[in-house]
Chain A
Amino acid sequence: MSDPAGDAKSEPKQASKEVKESENVAEKYSTMTVSKNSDVTMAELASAFSALPTHKPVKKQIQFVEDKQEFSRFPTKAGRRSLSRSISQSSTDSYSSAASYTDSSDDETSPRDKTQVNSKGSSDFCVKNIKQAEFGRREIEIAEQDMSALISLRKRAQGEKPLAGAKIVGCTHITAQTAVLIETLVALGAQCRWTACNIYSTQNEVAAALSEIGVAVFAWKGESEDDFWWCIDRCVNTEGWQPNMILDDGGDLTHWVYKKYPNVFKKIRGIVEESVTGVHRLYQLSKAGKLCVPAMNVNDSVTKQKFDNLYCCRESILDGLKRTTDVMFGGKQVVVCGYGEVGKGCCAALKALGAIVYVTEIDPICGLQACMDGFRVVKLNEVIRHVDVIITCTGNKNVVTREQLDRMKNGSIVCNMGHSNTEIDVASLRTPELTWERVRSQVDHVIWPDGKRVILLAEGRLLNLSCSTVPTFVLSITATTQALALIELYNAPEGRYKQDVYLLPKKMDEYVASLHLATFDAHLTELSDEQAKYLGLNKNGPFKPNYYRY
């Protein structure tokens, strides 16, 4: 993981995982747990959390009283979210590049001022233009093709309707992929009301398509700050409908409900939260003893993490570089800073295309892994003069400094796959003697007085979010995890989950993976009874102890 906040935070998460899974899932998966475990008290847990704020670079020391400030910071939403490698974030960008083909034709009146009615006569929604529903439907159908896991979940669970009676209020990006999730929830018996977690990311036609089938959606692309909270409020605040589940991405919805409608929590069975930021806010609440319902952290499920970091970056590094620079990789000398999951993905992809890859690392264990994988471990200064491409994925700041940029050769490419925009010291390039030339969207030539050019991608922001798309398949992993988390929380027997933040049980994580195997026509082997007994495992999983990191 290249994300320091993630790292720092994961420590308490881990602690909580152990405690909680043992307490609550223990009876169910008793083979995997040990009674000694329960010795870890909540006090210890709390002390683990107390270390948090200092590690947290962005949302340092947020108290509940800071709400106001929080609120006022809202327009920088994307920046705040950028800490996360969350897929939800990336879907923002993926759809600015994908076909959002309807906007220009829309009129400029705010959707709040219009009354629209869908074909069933319902007007309990607020979208840009309900008449675009058909376009949106097609988008959703395309997405369904690559989200077979959700579709098979629909089929498998449709009979029993595990979400019958669930009233889910959601706040996520509203894209075709999310729509597939929402419609899956509906198919499983839930009633849904939905709003957008980002003011720019909504696909208007998809929102329309959802409204058309009767889901109450309040979202459009280009909401104002005020619109944003109005939409959330409309979602929660309806006569005769009280939500009993929350699906959140970023924590804004949870926050709003806490602030405005604390009574609603009496009926809530649980919160499912996707993003790093939102999970962090939940842990804060939990630490402050103010979390009054169980919450599920889906951000840190094994499957999601692997896909967000290793697999996704392995593909997007090539995609991002190709789209922006049309560079050829064979024989090029590339230095990758950092050999965590992201770095491993980048190196594997580049090596496969015949690039000569160098690695820089600070951690000797990861350094040794790089050596054993056949990469030269160097210091950046040793190779900076002759490399063609520099890729940062450390989660650190100022990994590439002005001094190093000065020494790079003409035409070299600099980009960042790691963490927000701190890794490359871009500010140091904003000096009078250097000329900036925008050659393409997201591509700047920085020209030195002697004519040397360095190609800076996405102004040092995350390359994979700015310059490439996130595959639907990856979003499918997230959406499936969310759906399962909702089902788990909704159907859990009284007492399995307390007022705390949980990780998805291993078994669910494995189920998410198994639902995606069909895409690869992969045939999983089943343990025989005898073998299961020999290994001391349940035939149907979980197959690994909780601490196993794959």
Chain B
Amino acid sequence: MKKAYSLVNLTKAKDQEAVQSICIKQIQLGEQKQEFNKRPAKTSRHSLSRSVSQSSTDSSVYSDSSEDESSPRDRLQKNSRGQSDFCVRNIRRAECGRREIELAQQEMPALMVLRKRAEGERPLAGAKVVGCTHITAQIAVLIETLSVLGAQCRWAACNIYSTQNAVAAALAERGISVFAWKGESEDDFWWCVDRSVSLEAWQPNMILDDGGDLTHWIYKKYPSLFKKVKGIVEESVTGVHRLYQLSKAGRLCVPAINVNDSVTKQKFDNLYCCRESILDGLKRTTDVMFGGKQVVVCGYGEVGKGCCAALKALGAIVYITEVDPICALQACMDGFRLVKLSEVVRHVDMVITCTGNKNVVGREHLDRMKNGCIVCNMGHSNTEIDVGSLRTPELTWERVRSQVDHVIWPDGKRIALLAEGRLLNLSCSTMPTFVLSITATTQALALIELYNAPEGRYKQDVYLLPKKMDEYVASLHLPTFDAHLTELSDEQAKYLGLNKYGPFKPNYYR
């Protein structure tokens, strides 16, 4: 992420205050082809992102074994209303999926409130939204919210493994055209995307994308569709990156909103989410006790701060390694010892990496660790721990549990490596629905904003969600905590030079 967004600058858009755009360095459009070819390695491409959408891949999916093996493409299914404009594994599983969706609704109060508040005016009336996201119960709540707000939706999956078949069925049963099932082939994937777009009588005017595949497909196959499209909402780091490339090449012909970098979403994806999942992930995999344990956390960014706070609260003795002196000073002031990894690696019980860097834990560190040391990664794809260096003949690998490997040295020393160095929080713990709710609400508001924006507010560029919307997302989630926000009096608002209802902070405020 560091690499991707080298700079924020104010756009020249009219609504200069509200809108910020982030530019990307040195993006070549020529890379697009290559980008396209890379798609089978989808997970690794997404792994740049700490996107929530990625993690939903791993959440529970319970129905597969019982289903037949013929491709859904070869079967014609009808829902109870007699419609057949969808393609899912098994429409009869709709009821199971409905229960999943209802469960998710409980933890997504913001979207439910949004439904109630906006139902009367139906701000998306007339919107034809084509979406390409993970298809899970949480996303289903989003899709149905969009429907309630007046939109017509057609949906495809952005990941070949992540679809919850039952949920897809439940959506299809309600008349939403869903084209997705778990375990699509490469070919299936593009077929589904194509089916969701290419309908004679139905031309989309909004795009909700996660990963940029849908946008890419439309650019390639149906460029004329963009004449009617009012805007693109993109969630993932990858997709946002692709949009900036298009924008830089001058080929972005509609406005796009980058919801990935909204303040609320970023805080939840990194700080709060990791604060919980580090403990959850370690407990589930190793049942370790934290009190008095010596832990070294590599990196003190948002993720590192979350991990350290959680570990400290459970009584662990936490050491930090950091390269940036400012973050390092923060760690010192927060009461953590700042060390180099090699200084403490001999006596720590756990090593957690969250740097976004590569080879932070090398073979030479692993060699010096004590018996039973746990090594895991919370940071960035699978590069932080040099797992490759452990695949040598003298070391024995022993899988002791799902996601837990013991690597055994010739002298009998064992190191517990979690998730083979991949992201612990995605592999070994769940993502709270509440966090997904933040993302989904942000997406819904971004769609409403783009759809209802007066002509000219957004040009053919990539925008961040206006601060005010960001604040609105946060405010919709406050009732969960029974939190009572104070209102400014007129006099106070005047004194501060603010609007009573926000935005309360300048755009750059983090």
Contact = CB atoms under 8 A, between A and B. Distances in A.
Interface of A: 4, 7-8, 10-11, 14-15, 18, 22, 31-34, 36-37, 39-40, 44, 54-55, 57, 302-303, 306, 311, 337, 360-372, 376-380, 382, 395-399, 422, 509-511, 513-514, 516-517, 520, 522-528, 530-531, 534-537, 541, 543-550
A531 to B, nearest CB: 5
Contacts of A365: 263-264, 470-471, 474, 504-505
Contact of A22 (B7, B337, B485): B7
Contacts of A520: 332, 338
Contacts of B328: 513-514, 517, 522, 524
B325 interface: yes
Interface in B1-33: 2-3, 5-10, 12, 23-25
B495 interface: yes
Nearest to A14: B508
9 contacts: A4-B495, A11-B508, A367-B475, A371-B478, A371-B483, A379-B484, A522-B338, A544-B324, A547-B7
B339 interface: yes
A513 B326 contact: yes
B509 interface: yes
B451 interface: no
10 closest cross-chain pairs (CB), A and B: A522-B338, A377-B483, A549-B510, A514-B325, A364-B475, A364-B474, A543-B324, A513-B325, A363-B504, A371-B481
A546 B508 CA distance: 11
A372 B360 CA distance: 30
A302 B327 CA distance: 11
Contact of B2 (A337, A541, A544): A544
B496 A4 contact: yes
B41 interface: no
B3 A37 contact: no
Interface in B257-306: 263-264, 267, 271-272, 298
A232 B392 CA distance: 73
B338 A11 contact: no
B483 A367 contact: yes
A218 B328 CA distance: 39
A33 B7 CA distance: 6
B197 to A, nearest CB: 32
Contact of B6 (A44, A55, A371, A545): A545
A545 B474 contact: no
Given A33-B7, A522-B332, A550 B327 contact: yes
Contacts of B488: 362, 396
A538 B506 CA distance: 30
B485 A364 contact: yes
A522 B474 CA distance: 37
A57 B494 CA distance: 10
Given A40-B9, A395-B496, A14 B506 contact: yes
Contacts of A524: 322-323, 325, 328, 338, 340
Interface in B326-349: 326-333, 337-341, 343
Interface stretch (B176-184, B187-195, B351-359): B351-359
Given A365-B474, A517-B325, A546-B7, 12 more contacts: A34-B7, A303-B329, A363-B471, A364-B474, A372-B267, A376-B482, A397-B491, A398-B492, A513-B326, A527-B323, A531-B360, A534-B383
Contacts of B478: 364, 367-368, 371, 377
A523 B9 contact: no
Contacts of A54: 497
B55 interface: no
B462 to A, nearest CB: 12
B506 A10 contact: yes
A545 B357 contact: no
B414 interface: no
A10 B506 CA distance: 8
Q: How large is the interface on B (under 10, 10 to 19, 20 to 34, 35 or more residues)?
A: 35 or more
Contact of B491 (A18, A398, A534): A398
Contacts of B491: 397-398
Given A31-B6, A364-B471, A545-B6, A517 B329 contact: yes
A530 B483 contact: no
Nearest to A314: B333
Query: Looking at chain A's contact residues, is the secondary structure mostly helix, strand, loop, or mixed?
Result: helix
Contacts of A550: 326-327, 330, 510
A41 to B, nearest CB: 10
Given A54-B497, A362-B504, A520-B332, A40 B471 contact: no
Contacts of B339: 522-523
Contacts of B333: 306, 311
Given A522-B328, A523-B338, A523-B343, A363 B505 contact: yes
A535 B357 contact: yes
B67 interface: no
A33 to B, nearest CB: 6
B66 interface: no
B470 A361 contact: no
B90 interface: no
Nearest to A422: B495
A527 B25 contact: no
Contact of A368 (B7, B264, B338, B489): B264
Among A363, A370, A516, A534, max chain B CB count under 10 A is at: A363
A11 B18 CA distance: 12
Given A34-B7, A396-B495, A527 B357 contact: yes
A400 B359 CA distance: 53
B199 to A, nearest CB: 38
Among B2, B332, B337, B484, max chain A CB count under 10 A is at: B484
B471 to A, nearest CB: 5
A369 B383 CA distance: 31
Nearest to B500: A362
Given A362-B504, A376-B483, A541 B324 contact: yes
B329 A36 contact: no
Contact of A36 (B9, B356, B470): B9
B325 A377 contact: no
Contacts of A376: 481-483
Nearest to A525: B321
A362 B333 CA distance: 28
B472 interface: yes
B47 to A, nearest CB: 14
A173 to B, nearest CB: 24
Contacts of B326: 302-303, 509-510, 513, 543-544, 550
Nearest to A520: B332
Nearest to B276: A372
B154 interface: no
A18 B2 CA distance: 17
B502 interface: yes
B98 interface: no
Contacts of A514: 325, 328
B111 to A, nearest CB: 16
Given A36-B23, A363-B504, A396-B488, A531 B357 contact: yes
Contacts of B337: 522
B487 interface: yes
Contacts of B321: 525
B5 A368 contact: no
A477 to B, nearest CB: 9
A528 B341 CA distance: 13
Contacts of A360: 486
B39 to A, nearest CB: 23
Given A18-B8, A509-B326, A525 B340 contact: yes
Nearest to B476: A364
B230 interface: no
Nearest to A36: B23
A4 B484 CA distance: 23
Contacts of A22: 7
A39 B461 CA distance: 15
B477 interface: yes
Interface in B217-274: 263-264, 267, 271-272
